[in-house]
Amino acid sequence: MNDKPIPAPTSPNSQTLGDLSGANVTTQVVPPEGGVSVTPATPPTVAQDDLITPTSTPASQSPEVQPIAIQNEGVSSTVPPTGQVHGESLYTSPVLPNQEIEAPANNNIQGEQSVSLNTASMSDLGSPQLASAPQPPPTLNQEVIATPQQTLGTEQVLEHEISAPSQPTGVVFTPPGVSPTQVVDETGDDVKKKKSGGLFKVLFFTMAFVILIGGITIVGSKILSSFKPDPPVIDPNGPTEPQNAVELTYWGLWEEAEVMKNAFSEFEKANPGIKVNYLKQSKTEYLSRLKTSISNGDGPDLFRYHASWIPMMSSYLANVPENVMTIDEFKQTFYKVYRDQLIISNKIYGIPLMYDGLALYYNRDYFDMAGVDVPRTWSDVKIAANKLTVPSKKTQRNDRSIERAGIAMGNASNTDHFAEIVSLMIYQNGGDPHDPNSIEAKEALTYYTDFYNEDKVWSSLLPNSTIAFARGEAAMAIFPSWRAQEISKMNPGLRFGFAPIPKIGAEQIAYAAFWVEGVNKAGNNQKEAWKLLQFLSSSDIMKKMYSDQKLSRKYAELPSRIDLKDSIEEDYYSSSFLDDAPNAKSSYINSFTYDDAINDQLVSHYYQAIQMINNNKGVDKAADQLSKDVSKTLRKYSLQ
């Protein structure tokens, strides 16, 4: 190939895509204040009718228990003595001589001995045979005569034992100061009635209390609310508090989260309620993992993908809404190569945040020592490569003898990005790499392989071209922009430069291979995802992202916006790539996309064809087989 332009072929065929399209109560009577005299005495003569005794007494009870007589103004009555309750316990009341038993105040206790009567409760001591008529109340000087049963030394014991009554009894005596008509026979039913009545009163007063408190609370709250200050005035143009927070999951691929942090923080500040969760992914099987996660319903809201994946991603990609960006706005904002791949049937399927293409890398030290100018055309490249190869004589060169390559290209086995380089040459020669059996494609294939076969400026025994260039084992190479950072890391002391891609004739045609940002078609946060991409693709933010990247590494991702070409830091690195961007073309033949699909398959087909040519199988035979393989793959993805 020389400087003379190669005749241009007919325009490439147009492609079509598939549609993206309960209790006992014990009553205890306590004598009120008054004089009650209790003196021990022998049992008086009591009328039989007035004597009340228990209904039955066990035969084994000994000594016989005598009743206690109560005299009240000529009325005699008896009270069953305190004793065994329900046949289970026996109570004794020891009385010591001259011992006074504690009594309520103002009670006159007479006699030499005082007796304490420990009586059981009314309900326990009662009997059906007890008189149901109310008893007259005793007088203040009424005497209660108890019969002593035993004397043990100086201690007198009153022992009373009765059998347990089968039914509750009434009140057996009337306390002083109480009218007989006030004494009521408290049977079990009466107790229950009194209990029920008391419970009702408790409930009634409780409810009344609750209602009262509730009313006070309501009235108080209304009074207090009248003293509340007016709510603050909110600026309608300022940020508002989020009602439903949204977290966007963003799958990135090349950039670290630290680099993107400032841009995301600024977005979140301007859009309260939206948070960005950026996750850098591994490149290994990335496309497969992305498609699987989206199919399973747990995919990211937005993600980075290669522009050439649209035929495989059409059912996963949402198209850009017109309120985010119209087609006309898209065309005015980004380079032509983006519209060629991202606009399908008048719909946009992604927003680019970066540009990448091919450029010529050269070793400055070698060029300075050899006095060689930086090549501008492919003919210049051949001349410079021959001068920079060691050994210098072509007759002495072979795979084993080459110590330094003039340029790393001509074969497929150890030339990184060989498929993009060949595709570029086919485009420059007027052909289409998707139709490799054309004259233009065959000429480009021949011109490429001649660097290895005829000029012998590259060796298959040298390391891969990226490593070889970083080591200084190759004077020139053709790489995308992202390789610059990799080479710089490998050899920080290497002095190397960049130049626009060599051309044929006057027309400049370059090659671009780039990644874009897409939105999950099945995602629940599409509106917020597009808002983020609209923000990130704005001129100010994209320029800031470029500057932020330059703070963390020497070579940053190049911006995709046309208006930023002249406003970013101008240097030989950025200009070498962006000068070619307006004329760049792309294809489905791209290395290092790791898709195991259309790109990897087409790259493999080109690899085989170049191997055939370098093994003397002939370009025609290689191109014919290549054409068949390429057509089969394109039909597989509905591109032909």
- Do 44 and 193 share a domain, yes or no? yes
Residue 103 shares a structural domain with residue 199 = yes
Beta-sheet pairing, 246-252 with 302-306: parallel
The verdict on residue 229 lying in a domain is no
Number of domains in the chain: 3
- Kindly state whether residues 325 and 377 are assigned to the same domain: no
For every residue of 310-340, DSSP letters joined together read HHHHTTTBPPPPTTT--HHHHHHHB-HHHHH
Quote the domain boundaries for residue 436.
358-513+568-636
CATH number for the domain harbouring residue 544: 3.40.190.10
In our burial notation (b when 16+ CB lie closer than 10 A, e otherwise), range 392-414 reads: eeeeebeeeebebbbbbbbbbeb
Q: Which residues does 566 contact at the CB level (< 8 Å), separation at least 6?
A: none
Q: Do the domain assignments include residue 236? A: no
Q: Render pLDDT for 288-325 as a digit per residue (tens, 0 to 9).
A: 999 999 999 999 999 999 999 999 998 999 999 999 99
What are the C-alpha distances in Å from 312 to residues 41, 126, 166, 309, 387? Answer: 120, 100, 97, 5, 45
Domain boundary among 185, 209, 233: 209
Residue 216 in domain: no
How many C-alpha atoms does 491 have within 13 Å on its Cβ side? 15
Please indicate, yes or no, whether residues 404 and 282 belong to a single structural domain of this protein: no
Closest alpha carbon to 90 in 44, 159, 39: 159
Q: Does residue 67 share a domain with residue 144?
A: yes
pTM of the model: 0.64
Kindly state whether residue 300 falls inside one of the protein's structural domains. yes
Q: Give the whole-angstrom CA distance, residue 489 versus residue 550.
A: 15
C-alpha to C-alpha distance for 581 and 562, rounded to whole angstroms: 9
Residue whose entry in the numeric block shows the structure tokens 């049977």: 187
Distance of alpha carbon 167 from the chain centroid: 72
Residue 2 lies in a domain: no
Q: Which two tokens stand for residue 530?
A: 């597009």
pLDDT tens sequence across 35-52:
444 334 444 444 444 433
Same domain for 420 and 472: yes
330: how many CB neighbours lie within 10 A of its CB? 19
Residue 190: the pLDDT is: 52
Task: Specify whether 288 is located in the same domain as 418.
Answer: no
pLDDT in tens, 146-181: 444 443 333 333 334 334 444 444 444 444 454 444
> Is 9 contained in some domain?
no
Task: Write out the DSSP string of 541-601.
Answer: HHHHHHHHHHHH-SSPPBP-BGGGTTTSPP-HHHHHHHTTGGGEE--S--SS---SSHHHH
596 in the same domain as 531: no
Same-domain status, 432 and 342: no
Residue 549 lies in a domain: yes
Residues 502 and 520 in one domain: no
The verdict on residue 285 lying in a domain is: yes
Burial call 338-366: b when 16+ CB within 10 Å, e when fewer: beebbbbeeebbbbbbbbbbbbbbbbeeb
Alpha-carbon distance of 427 to 587, in angstroms, equals 10
pLDDT in tens, 97-106: 444 434 444 4
User: What integer pLDDT is reported at residue 12 of this predicted model?
Assistant: 39
Structure tokens, 490: 């490998």
Residues 344 and 383 in one domain: no
- All residue ranges of the chain with pLDDT < 50 are 1-176, 178-187, 191, 228-229, 231-236, 238-239, 241
| Same domain (yes/no): 132, 64 | yes
